Amino acid sequence: MLFFYFISLPLTMGMVILTLKYFSSPDVPNYVLFTVGYTWFCSFSIIILVPADIWTTIFGNYSGGISFFWSLTYWSTFLLTWVVVPTIQGYEDAGDFTMVERLKTSLHENLVYYLCVGSIALLGLILFIIFSKNWSGDILGFAMACSNTFGLVTGAFLLGFGLSEIPKGIWKNVDWTFRHKVLSHKVAKMAVKLDDAHQEFSSAIVVAQATLNQITNHDPLRPYTNIIDNILYQMLKEDPSFKPQGGRFGENDMDYNTDHKSMAMLRRRLRIAREEYCRYRSEYSSFVLEALELEDTVRNYERRNITGWKFVSSIKPERTGKLGPSFDMMEFIWRCVVRKQLEKLLAIILGCISAAILLAEATILPAGVDLSLFSILINSVGKQEMLVQVAAFVPLLYMCICTYFSLFKIGMLMFYSLTPRQTSSVSLLMICSMVARYAPPISYNFLNLIRIPDNRKTIFEKRMGNIDDAVPFFGKGFNKIYPLIMVIYTLLHVTNFFDRVIDYFGNWRIFKFQNQDDDADGFDSSGLIILQKERAWLERGHRVGEHIIPLARNFSSMNVDIEPGSNNTMASAVIGTMSQFKPLNEEVQHVTSRETITKKHSSTREHQNKQASNTKSTLEESTSFKSVMRPKSEKLSSKWELMKFGLVNFKSILEVNNYLPLRQTEENTLSSITSSSESLDDIFQRLKRPTLDLRDYGADNDRMF
């Protein structure tokens, strides 16, 4: 009866442990890992218990074991979600120096949260008293139904978004050209974010050191400064390649030495700045490596007859030994042939499952009609216990994946981050809270899709209660109406209805949820040049992202997209720079016109320029590439930007096509190896110096704060 459940438990535990090791940062403490792991385990235990509950309900073999496991997992998840996890999350986010102070800060920050939860509970109690005359359930069922009403409604829309996006995204990413366009934009965006995070981390270090220097040895705040000093030392020791540059003083950056609370704020700022820098560096490296591997895949496929169907990587060492050629051939077959076909097949299968789920959700309302393929399959299997539970587990697992995919995608834009090996404690705790909060509603929604003979209810449905009974003012049919609303929303999303409405009303663009289709309208030229530079640096033995900071700052004020049907004289220079990417973009080869120069990442760059112009003081003006004075004339500024863009692409063309004279190449080889991006800026700065009276910026790369 519980055979499938007991088999799935160790597999679930192993999956939780591997997931934590893959995503968690090395700085995450053990008690946070235990809390997150146990919360995930309880949440997934609810999901794997649903098939066993369906089996016992169909054949009437009710067991006290299932009832016990339901109570244990559900109430553990409930307490973790609403009490334990928020408290630990506030504790981890606090910057105080003692355990008691951090706990006080956590409770104070969560006071509003607990007041909101208490208000909702009080409202539920009032409703229970009002409708208690005709009450047929129990208090616990009423409480469970009320607590999961929000998850049922919002989870339905999250599910609908995932049902549409996951199959469509897999199908589109099979196209190498489409994926390379997306990666070129992601690399350019992430390079700018990494530059901003690098400057913020540098500013936090500068402010911390300046604050430490202001406090004497006899000051009461001296113990706090010693702690911050040790933290700063450990940060730089763990990452010796980090070189602070571009650090700036803000308006209130010298006010951290007033009391212990301000020192706690400084410590928190330093921690958050470091976490963001490490996260963006990890994401940037993953995007760059994926793009370079994609270029190698396309290049090997185009030259398959020459290489003899062997995969030749330009960023990995060559395999040696007797089995080396065999492994190269296997890698070629997997990357260039099999993987693409399997991804297409997976997209088709997931698309069919999504359609079956939508059909089942849409036919809940009609009574006496069972068009749910999952219900028909479960009832037709008969008395095969394992087949019944597998047939129930597979679609339920897919519904969870779709819901969590949407939840993570939306949350990563606003609340938290999920980055391999760089996810902080606060993000892990917030994610586990969301996972636990949506596990019971997803399971309840799936149970509504299964028509059990004689209208028998599962143990989970009996314990959780019915929304129609718990909250009568929603109406007796609300439990069957809200899935139909989700189906309509999903169909509108599939047809891009919302994007068309937002595009029609131009002022509504701020509400548009950006997806990868917005990054596939053309190649990002800055992203392609960055990829070209990263490949050259890898071939010289450098690491990914080692020299990207100054290069990203050059591109932060200039961006040109390569799109079909464009018209501009500078497009030819960019096309020449990208001549090595012809196999990935055949349409670029035929570009003969350009109508507009679009600025894709204007919001990020406007914020960056605004921050640079509003800063009142700097530690050293020569330590920032952005300390250049603006020209008095906007026309002159535009001319310099165009000239800089032309010089960057002209030098890139010379490097790609080996047009530099041999003598000059030999003389400049050593300097270009040490700082290839700096040599590009030398040309531009040297031309601007007579007009703008620039200061020497050569010490920028060597200065340490």
Q: Give 629's DSSP letter.
A: P
Q: Residue 701: which pLDDT band, with cuts at 50, 70 and 90?
A: very low
pLDDT of residue 623: 36
User: What average pLDDT does range 180-186 have in this prediction?
Assistant: 92
* Out of 230-234, 416-420, 480-484, 579-583, least confident range: 579-583
Q: CB burial class (10 A; 0-12, 13-18, 19+) of residue 62?
A: middle
Helix (H, G, I), strand (E, B) or coil at 194: helix
Residue 414 has pLDDT above 80, yes or no: no
- Kindly tell me if the per-residue pLDDT of 422 is higher than 70: yes
Name which residue leads in pLDDT, 539 or 183.
Answer: 183
How far is CA 356 from its chain centroid?
29
Q: Which two tokens stand for residue 37?
A: 């792991």
CA count, 13 A, side-chain hemisphere, 466: 17
Whether pLDDT at 273 is above 80: yes
What is the arithmetic mean of pLDDT over 571-587? 38
Position 121 pLDDT exceeds 50: yes
Hey, how many other C-beta atoms are within 10 angstroms of the C-beta on 309? Answer: 16
Least confident of 138-142, 235-239, 692-696: 692-696
- When pLDDT is averaged across residues 673-679 and rounded to a whole number, the result is 39
Higher pLDDT, 578 or 19: 19
Helix, strand or coil, per DSSP, at residue 68: helix
- When pLDDT is cut at 50, 70 and 90, the band that residue 554 belongs to is low
- What confidence score (pLDDT) does residue 451 get? 86
- Displacement of CA 60 from its chain's centroid (Å): 45
Tokens of 308: 């003899």
**Which of 314, 317, 281 is closest to 300 using CA atoms?**
314
pLDDT 10s digits, 194-219: 988 988 898 888 888 888 888 888 88
CA torsion 192-197-202-207 (nearest 10°) is: 130
Query: How far apart, in Å, are the Cα atoms of 69 and each of 2, 45, 387?
Result: 11, 9, 22
What's the rounded Cα separation, in Å, for the pair 248 and 203? 5
The pLDDT value recorded for residue 679 is 41
Q: Which of 415, 481, 385, 422 is nearest to 152 (CA)?
A: 481
pLDDT, greater one: 239 or 15: 15
Is 662 or 254 the better-scoring residue by pLDDT? 254
Average pLDDT over residues 495-508: 72
Overall average pLDDT of the 210-233 stretch: 85
Query: What is residue 645's predicted lDDT score, i.e. its pLDDT?
Result: 53
The pLDDT confidence band at residue 477, using thresholds 50, 70 and 90, is low
Q: How confident is the model at residue 40 (pLDDT cuts 50, 70, 90)?
A: very high
Q: Can you tell me the distance from the alpha carbon of 378 to that of 446, in angstroms, rounded to the nearest whole number?
A: 13
Residues 508-521 pLDDT 10s: 555 455 565 556 67
pLDDT surpassing 60 at residue 668: no
Q: How high is the pLDDT of residue 632?
A: 37
Q: In the predicted model, what is the mean pLDDT of residues 86-99? A: 92
Task: Give the Cα separation of 273 and 597 in Å (integer).
Answer: 33
The pLDDT score that the predictor gives to residue 297 is 94
**Given pLDDT bands bounded at 50, 70 and 90, which one contains residue 455?**
confident
Residues contacting 294, CB < 8 A, separation 6+: 176, 179, 180, 183, 584
Q: pTM of the entire structure?
A: 0.74
Cα–Cα nearest to 314, from 289, 350, 335, 348: 289
Return the domain boundaries, the chain: 192-290
Whole-number average pLDDT of the chain: 75
Highest mean pLDDT among 282-296, 431-445, 565-579 belongs to 282-296
Backbone angles phi, psi at 570, to 5 degrees: -75, -15
549 pLDDT tier (thresholds 50, 70, 90): low
In three-state secondary structure terms, 24 is strand
Out of 3-7, 353-357, 378-382, 474-478, the most confident range is 353-357
Mean pLDDT within 585-602: 35
* Range of lowest pLDDT (263-272, 420-429, 547-556, 560-569): 560-569
Environment class of 385 (CB within 10 Å of its CB; exposed 0-12, middle 13-18, buried 19+): buried
Q: How far apart are the first and last CA of the chain?
A: 66
Residue 619 has pLDDT above 80, yes or no: no
418 pLDDT band, cuts 50/70/90, is confident
Q: For residues 405 and 170, is the Cβ–Cβ distance under 8 A?
A: no
Lowest mean pLDDT among 211-215, 280-284, 565-569: 565-569
Average pLDDT for residues 361-372, to the nearest whole number? Answer: 80
Residue position matching structure tokens 């402010």: 207
Q: What is the pLDDT of residue 684?
A: 39
Which of 252-261, 317-326, 403-412, 620-629 has the weakest average pLDDT? 620-629
Assess whether pLDDT exceeds 50 at residue 593. Answer: no
Tokens matching residue 24: 């968690």
Q: Higher model confidence: residue 167 or residue 128?
A: 167
| pLDDT confidence of residue 143 | 62
Question: Cα(39)–Cα(244) distance, rounded to whole angstroms?
Answer: 38
Interval 592-606 mean pLDDT: 37
Instruction: Please choose, from the candidates 282, 280, 277, 274, the residue with its C-alpha nearest in 3D space to the C-alpha of residue 228.
Output: 274
Give CB contacts under 8 A, 24+ apart, made by 463-467: 463/67, 463/70, 463/71, 463/74, 463/140, 463/141, 463/144, 464/141, 464/144, 464/145, 464/148, 464/440, 465/137, 465/138, 465/141, 465/142, 465/144, 465/145, 466/137, 466/145, 467/145, 467/149, 467/152
Mean pLDDT for 436-452 is: 88
Region 5-31 average pLDDT: 92
pLDDT band at 83 (very low <50, low <70, confident <90, very high): confident
Question: What is the pLDDT confidence band of residue 654, given thresholds at 50, 70 and 90?
Answer: very low
Of 12-26, 178-192, 568-582, where does mean pLDDT reach its minimum? 568-582
pLDDT value, residue 144: 63
